[in-house]
A and B are shown apart, each in its own frame.
Chain A
Amino acid sequence: MTLRELKVCLLGDTGVGKSSIVCRFVEDSFDPNINPTIGASFMTKTVQYQNELHKFLIWDTAGQERFRALAPMYYRGSAAAIIVYDITKEESFQTLKNWVKELRQHGPPNIVVAIAGNKCDLSDAREVSEKDAKDYADSIHAIFIETSAKNAININEVFTQISERIPVLDAEGGSAVKGFKLRRQPSVSTRERTCC
C-alpha cells in the first residue's frame, strides 16, 4: 500500500468553525470555547482510501483579518482546500466567494475545492439556504456538504469526498497531483529543492 501525503488547507471567515472541523476529524472532540487560531495550526490524520493511505497534512488557517496575507503559504502546494462558511452568517458565505476567487487566481491548478457549510445544527438561525450554496458549489465544480463539528455531522465525509477526487497515482509511480505542479513550474528547481 502506498502512502501519499496530501496537503489540505482550511480557509474561511473567523469563527465559522475551521478549527472545530479539524478537531472533530482528527481527535473526534469538540470544544465550544476554542481560542482563535494564530497564523495556522497543523495536524495530520491518515485514512485508507481504496489501496492507498492518504496522510492529510492539514493546515488550519487563522480567519482573522491580520493573518489574511499569510494564506498563500498554506494553499501553496495544497492538493485540496476546504473553504468553510457558517450557515447562520450570510457574510461568511460572501467571504467564501472571495476565497474561491483567490484560489482560482493564485492557488495551485487542479486544487480540489470543498465547500463546507458548518453549524448545520443551528438551522433555526439559518441565513444561507442549502440550495443556493449547492448551486454555487456546482457552478465552480466544488464538493459541497453541510457539516456540524459540534454534532459530528458529515465531517469525515468531507475528507472522504476529497480522497475520491484526488487523482490516482499514474503508472510511473509519480503522483498525478505532483505532475500538475511540475507542469505549472517546469523549472528543475522544484526537483532540486526536494532532494536537498
Chain B
Amino acid sequence: MAFQGSEGLEEQLEEPEDTLRVSPAEEMPIDGPPAVGDPEPEPLLLPWDRFSSWLHCICVVGFDLELGQAVEVIYPHHSKLTEKEKTSICYLSFPDSNSGCLGDTQFCFRFRQAAGRKSSLGCFLEHFDRDAPVSLKKDQGYYYGYVYFRQVRDKSLKRGYFQKSLVLISKLPYVTFFHSLLKLIAPEYFEKQEPCLEAACNDIDRWPTPCPGKILSLPIMGVVMKLRIPTCYDKPGTSQLVQSTPSDSQVSIILPTVHEVDLFRCFHPVFFHIQMLWELVLLGEALVVMAPSPAESSDTVLALVSCISPLRYCSDFRPYFTIHDSEFKEYTTRTQAPPSVILGVTNPFFAKTLQHWPHIIRIGDMKTAGEMAKQMKVKKLKNLKTLDSKPGVYTAYKPFLNKDEDIIKQLQKGVQQKRPSAAQNAILRRYFLELTQSFIIPLERYVASLMPLQKSISPWKSPPQLRPFNQDEFMKTLEKAGPQLTSRLKGDWIGLYRQFLRSPNFDGWFRNRRKEMLQKLEALHLEALCEEDLTLRIQKHTEVETVDLVLKLKEKLTQAEKDQLPVKAGTLAKLQAHIDTIILTLPEDLQGILHKPPSP
C-alpha cells in the first residue's frame, strides 16, 4: 500500500495548483539552473529514503529520576546515534536552568556530528543541495535539533511535573518549517503516544524529497503543509510563497517561508544596536547571547546568523548551548582568544564563564518587553555584573559605519502606528538585505574580474588559471565602484572590508565563489572541446596518442557528471558521441577494451 500510495501522491503533485502563487520567483531566470546533459532519472527510493532526506530521526527525551534526562525512544528504530550524540541531544533538549518554562516551549539547537560517520542523507540528494541558496545548504558535520518541550504539573508523578521533549534531528536548516511540523506532531504525540509517531513517520516517508524551487505538498497528521524551498536562482528577498485564497488550517497550511525567523521580534530587545550587530556577525566576532529561555536564545542566535543573508555565516553557531556541551571547554577556555562563534545560553553560570568575551548580548524576558526599548547606549563590559545585569549589548566595539537613524525612526514609527509585526519584519529584512548587498557587490564585481578571458580558453591546453585575489587591487576598485553606489551609509567602509577579508565569512564566501568559477572554466573548456573536429585531429596522431585522448576524454566526462558542471544542455552527450566515434577508428581489440565502462 505504501508504495502505491506514494505513486499516487507523486502524480497528483504534478497537477497545477491554482490556489497557490509563487511571487515572483516562480519561473527560473534564463541563466539558471544549469542544464546537466539529460534530465536526471528519478532515483530508486527504498523505504525510509524519503524520510531520511528530511530527517535523521525523531527522539523522545524524558526525565528519569535516577538517570536525569534520557532518550526514551528513537524513531525509526534503526536510526543510528552515537552515545556522545545521544548525550548531547539529552542535555540540549531540556531547558538547563530553572527558567520556569511551564507549558509548551519550542526552540532549536545545533550539535557536531560524531566524527567518521556517514551522513544518513544519501548522495542521490546532492543535486537538491546544489540548487539551494548558499545559506540553506545542508550543514556538513552538524545536526540541528528542533525541540518541542512540554512541562506541566502532574501530581501523579513523583517529580510533580510531566517533562518531555519531542525532538526532530535533521541536517536541514529549515527552522520555520520544522517548528510548524512539530506544532502539528508534538501535541498529538504527548496525548496519543507511539502510534502517533508511527503515523507521522509513515507520512513523512511518503513525502516528495526536499527539492528547492518546487511547491511541495506534504501531508502530515491530517493536514497538508504546502511550502517552497528557495533556490539559489531566486532573486534575494522574493522567494516567499503567498496565498491567494484563505484556507482552513485543519485542511491545509501554507508556509510563506521555510527558514526565515521574525527578525523584528527577535531583535526587539536590542533594537537600537541592530546595525552594530550586523557588523559583528559579518566580521565573525565572538558573540554570546544570554537569554532567559532556550526559545529566546535560539531565536536570537538564528536571527543574528540570518541577518547577513544572502551571505552564509561560516563559523560555528549554537542557538542553545549548555555547560554539558562537548565543546564547552574548547569554547570557554581563557587560554586562547574567544573563538569565532555565536553562542546562545540561558544558564547564569555563563555570565561568569564568558565574562572575558568581547561582545555580550543580554536579553530580558521578551514577553514582558511590550514597549519599545528606550534609546540605549552600548554598555561597557566592566558594567556586566555576573548575574542580574540589565538587557543590552555589552561591548567595547566601535562600529565602522555611521549609524543609520532612518531605519530606527521608520521602525519606531511603525511601533507607534501599531504596524503589524510581519510588516515590521519585512522592513527590517529588506534593510539588512540591502546593507549586505551593498557590501558584497563590490567583492562580487572584483572577483568576477579574476576570470580569464573567454578567448584564452583553448581546447588543447588545460583551462587557464584564475587570477589570485589581491587585497590592494580590490581596495583600489572601491574608490570608483564601492558601496557608495548603492548605500547612503557613510563611515569607514574600507576598514570594514579590511577586517572582513580576515574573517571566516570571507574565507567561506571566497572559497565557494572560487569553486564555482573553476567549474565554470572547466565547463567552458569542455564546451570548446566538443566544438572541435576530433576525428580530424586524431588523424595526425599515433594510435597510442589516440588511446590516451580517449582515456582523458572519458575521465573528463566522468568528472563533469560527478561535479555536475554547469555546461550547456547536450554538451555531455556530444562528448560521449565524440568518444564513441574516436573509439570506432581504432583496431577492434582496442575497441573492446575502451568500450568498457571505467572501473570505479
Contacts and interface: CB of A to CB of B under 8 A. Distances in A.
A76 B222 contact: yes
B12 A70 contact: no
Interface stretch (B48-56, B145-153, B247-255, B579-587): B247-255
Please name the 8 residue pairs, one residue from A and one from B, whose CB atoms are nearest each other, closest first: A39-B199, A77-B250, A73-B222, A42-B219, A193-B249, A44-B12, A38-B202, A41-B5
A3 interface: yes
Interface stretch (B188-196, B345-353, B529-537, B590-598): B188-196
A35 B1 contact: yes
B1 A34 contact: yes
B383 interface: no
Contacts of B195: 39, 66-67, 69-70
B221 A46 contact: no
Interface in A180-196: 181, 190-191, 193-196
B199 A38 contact: yes
Contacts of A196: 256, 422
Interface in B1-39: 1-2, 4-5, 7-9, 12, 15, 18-19
A111 B252 CA distance: 17
Contact of B253 (A46, A76, A177, A193): A193
A143 interface: no
A101 interface: no
A45 B13 CA distance: 10
A21 B253 CA distance: 27
B180 to A, nearest CB: 9
Contacts of A85: none
A190 B249 contact: yes
Nearest to A77: B250
Given A34-B1, A37-B1, A38-B202, A74 B251 contact: no
Contact of A31 (B4, B199, B247): B4
Nearest to A175: B248
Interface in B197-212: 198-200, 202-203, 206
Nearest to B193: A69
B246 interface: yes
Interface string A4-44: 01010100000000010001001101010011111111111
Contacts of A38: 2, 198-199, 202
Contact of B192 (A7, A23, A70, A177): A70
A190 B248 contact: yes
Interface residues of B, number: 39
B19 A73 contact: no
Contact of A19 (B1, B219, B256, B422): B1
Interface in B209-231: 219, 221-224
B222 A41 contact: no
B19 A3 contact: yes
A27 B202 contact: no
Contact of A76 (B19, B200, B250): B250
Interface of B: 1-2, 4-5, 7-9, 12, 15, 18-19, 188, 191-192, 195-196, 198-200, 202-203, 206, 219, 221-224, 243, 246-254, 256, 422
Interface string A80-115: 000000000000000000000000000000000000
Interface in A40-78: 40-46, 57, 59, 62, 66-67, 69-70, 73-74, 76-77
A178 B221 contact: no
7 contacts: A7-B248, A27-B8, A41-B202, A43-B9, A70-B221, A174-B246, A190-B248
A39 B203 contact: yes
B249 A194 contact: yes
Contact of B247 (A27, A40, A62, A194): A194
B286 to A, nearest CB: 34
B2 A178 contact: no
Contacts of A76: 222, 250
Interface of A: 3, 5, 7, 9, 19, 23, 26-27, 29, 31, 34-46, 57, 59, 62, 66-67, 69-70, 73-74, 76-77, 174, 177-178, 181, 190-191, 193-196
A44 B224 CA distance: 11
Contacts of B254: 194
Nearest to A108: B250
A178 B222 CA distance: 17
A142 B345 CA distance: 58
Most buried by A among B5, B9, B253, B254: B5
B9 A39 contact: no
B220 to A, nearest CB: 9
B174 to A, nearest CB: 16
B248 A181 contact: yes
Contacts of B249: 77, 190, 193-194
Contacts of B246: 174, 178, 191, 194-195
B106 to A, nearest CB: 15
A42 B4 CA distance: 11
Most buried by A among B219, B246, B250: B250
Contacts of A77: 222-223, 248-251
Contacts of B12: 26, 43-46
A156 to B, nearest CB: 16
Contact of B5 (A9, A43, A177): A43
B290 to A, nearest CB: 29
Contacts of B196: 39, 70
Most buried by B among A40, A57, A193, A194: A194
A109 to B, nearest CB: 13
Contacts of A193: 249, 253
Given A19-B1, A76-B222, A194 B248 contact: yes
Given A31-B4, A39-B198, A44-B12, A57 B251 contact: yes
Most buried by A among B18, B198, B248, B250: B248
A80 to B, nearest CB: 12
Given A41-B1, A42-B219, A77-B222, A70 B248 contact: no
B563 to A, nearest CB: 37
B252 A5 contact: yes
A73 B221 contact: yes
B247 to A, nearest CB: 5
B222 A40 contact: yes
A195 B203 CA distance: 24
A42 B247 contact: no
B192 A42 contact: no
A178 to B, nearest CB: 6
Contacts of A67: 195, 199
B21 to A, nearest CB: 13
